[in-house]
Amino acid sequence: MNAMDIYEILKYLPHRYPFILVDRVVSYEPGERIIAVKNVSINEPYFVGHFPHYPVMPGVLIVEALAQAAALLTLKTENAAKNDAQVYYFVGIDGVRFKKPVMAGDQLVLKVEITRQIKGVWKYTARAEVDDQLVTEAQLMCTARDI
């Protein structure tokens, strides 16, 4: 079983605090799937304003966490390290559904599978779960572009 700690994750993703949204990779199979974790702490900077009386993780950040997991899967699939001359962009997000709020104290489990790759565009099926319950699902499309 392949796994990654935060130190290895930081070797692959360009994101840094407060925008690194993957704390650990539990397992991955290059070319297939990844399971990663985001521990949602009350200390997250967005909870100051979203919402102070009811700390809910913004849905767009859940989707971003899924995209970061997808990027890790793609980079591991291509056996490519972080490249400061490239950025990994969204090119499409379809069918996003938010089923349940993610609260401070939750552990967000990110599950992403590659569904296809054509001409440098990767498509994924992604789902986020808390306590084995679906909280968010989406179809993601991403690509790397030189900067």
Q: Are 46 and 62 in contact (CB under 8 A)?
A: no
Round to whole Å and give the CA distance between 146 and 66. 22
Distances (CA, A) of 10 to 4, 14, 40, 115: 10, 7, 18, 25
The residue whose two tokens read 């559904």 is: 97
Say whether 101 sits in a helix, a strand or coil.
coil
Round to whole Å and give the CA distance between 18 and 70. 19
The CA-based angle 38-7-144, given to 5 degrees, is 75
Q: Which residues are catalytic?
A: 50
> Which two tokens mark 135?
């909280």
